[in-house]
Chains A and B, each alone.
Chain A
Amino acid sequence: MHISLAAEVLGHIWGFPITNTLVTAWIVMGVFIIGALLLRRSLSLVPTGIQNVMETVFEAGQELVEPLLGKEMAKKAFPLLVTFFLFIVLSNWFGIFPGFGTIGFYKIHEGEREFLPLLRSVYADLNMTVAIAVISVVMTQVFGFMANGAGYLKRYFNFSNPVLFFVGLLEIVSEFAKIISFAFRLFGNIFAGEVLLMIVGFIAPFLAPLPFYGLELFVGLIQAVVFTMLTLVFFSMATSSHH
């Protein structure tokens, strides 16, 4: 059994490394885009099927976001938050499918025969988690500027008194800390889940992994909720003019 923190590189296209998480991300994206196209084709004023589900998610989401961000900001931030949630939760659940981490091929690497799984859960790769963490933090600044204009800079650079100046420095540090905490929280949970399933499957292949699959479904949902809710809270903090 080989466990690697980093996603395995399957090959290179024009010098660009193609990892198994990238492949999975593309598959999940494909599922989303096809689903969205199907949804758009079946949209009607009287909702049916998947449209009902999506509308329920939208209504619940909007009810959650609007009191925190205000109607205008909520309209702008909502698509991003929904995409965070849906992409994370579907990717996480996708990673539980059989075949993840088990279907692959062997490659000779530095004289050693190495197993390369073809698919790997999207968020069991720090590149992906750092990517969405960066998006989340950058968008927090964007919404902060949109809501408060140049006054938003006072949050980081405040020369009116030494205490606020120091607080500003701490805020800058905390923005970078956010990226790290976002990225490692999600990565840690999903990667640990993958490893856990692999080990349980290795020790007792039948029945024993079932409760862990249930657990992983739950963890996948919870992590998506945590990521989205934290982003929402940071958006809310950035858009409110408390200075």
Chain B
Amino acid sequence: MLTVFIVELIQTLGIEGKLLLAQIVNFAILLFVLWKVAYKPLTTLMTERAQKIQKGVDDAKQMDEQRTTWNREHQEMLVSARKQAQEVVAVAQAQSAEMITQAKTQAQQKIDTMMAEAQKVVKQEQRAAMVELEKSMTKLVVDVASKFLTKKMNAKDDETMIEQMAKSLHS
């Protein structure tokens, strides 16, 4: 009685073994095709992209770290370079100051020697002039004396002689 009812119910509802099986197969085919054609490539692609993005992020992080290191090194180099430059400048300044003082002393010394030499020359020339003067004076005195002694002098002779003497003195 119950089985008859169930069979009738199934017939009324249109359930049929063949069709049921066909639909199961249909769904299985659809699942297989979608899995093969769509899901698998899509998931692979999504994983690949996720990995790529992860790699990009990691790379960026690494580069950031690198940049920080470089920055620090750069800063350090700058500081040391500045220090070196300061040292060089200090040394140069010291050297130049020394050179200036040296030059000054040398110049002073040179001036002093030149002055001394010049004074010496002047003195020598003075002395020479004095000697010359003495000589001419002596000669003059001798001349005058000889004139006086050898010649009787009149007023006119006296005058000309004086003139002559003056001339010779001038020359």
Q: Identify the A interface with B (CB < 8 A).
A: 4-7, 16-17, 19, 22, 25-26, 29, 32-33, 36-37, 39-40, 43-45, 51, 54-55, 58-59, 78-80, 82-83, 86-87, 125-128, 130-132, 134-135
> Is B166 on the interface with A (CB-CB < 8 A)?
no
Known contacts A5-B14, A6-B13; A22/B38 CB under 8 A: no
Known contacts A5-B13, A130-B15; A58/B43 CB under 8 A: yes
A17 touches B16 (CB 8 A): yes
Q: For B48, list chain A residues within 8 Å (CB).
A: 45
Q: Identify the B interface with A (CB < 8 A).
A: 12-16, 18-20, 22-24, 26-31, 33-35, 37-39, 41-43, 45-46, 48-49, 52
Secondary structure at chain A's binding surface: helix, strand, loop or mixed? helix
Known: A44-B45, A86-B34. 20 other contacts (CB 8 A): A6-B12, A17-B16, A19-B14, A22-B23, A36-B34, A36-B38, A37-B37, A40-B41, A43-B42, A45-B48, A51-B42, A55-B46, A79-B35, A80-B31, A83-B27, A83-B35, A126-B13, A127-B14, A128-B23, A135-B24
Q: List 12 A-B contacts (CB under 8 A).
A: A4-B14, A17-B19, A29-B30, A32-B34, A43-B42, A43-B45, A44-B45, A45-B48, A54-B42, A79-B39, A83-B35, A135-B24
Min C-beta distance of B8 to chain A, whole Å: 12
* CB-based nearest B residue for A83: B31
B27 touches A7 (CB 8 A): no
Min C-beta distance of B165 to chain A, whole Å: 128
A127 touches B15 (CB 8 A): yes
B18 touches A17 (CB 8 A): yes
Partner of B27, one of A17, A39, A132: A132
Of A6, A37, A43, A135, most B-chain CB atoms within 10 Å: A6
B18 touches A36 (CB 8 A): no
Q: For A43, list chain B residues within 8 Å (CB).
A: 41-42, 45
Q: For B38, list chain A residues within 8 Å (CB).
A: 36, 39-40, 54
A87 touches B27 (CB 8 A): yes
Complex: how many Å from CA A10 to CA B30? 23
* CB-based nearest B residue for A55: B46
Q: For B43, list chain A residues within 8 Å (CB).
A: 58
Min C-beta distance of B13 to chain A, whole Å: 5
Complex: how many Å from CA A144 to CA B22? 26
Min C-beta distance of B23 to chain A, whole Å: 4
A25 touches B23 (CB 8 A): yes
Complex: how many Å from CA A83 to CA B33? 10
Q: For A26, list chain B residues within 8 Å (CB).
A: 26
Min C-beta distance of A38 to chain B, whole Å: 10
B23 touches A83 (CB 8 A): no
Q: For A29, list chain B residues within 8 Å (CB).
A: 26, 29-30
Min C-beta distance of A85 to chain B, whole Å: 11
Q: For A131, list chain B residues within 8 Å (CB).
A: 20, 23-24, 26-27
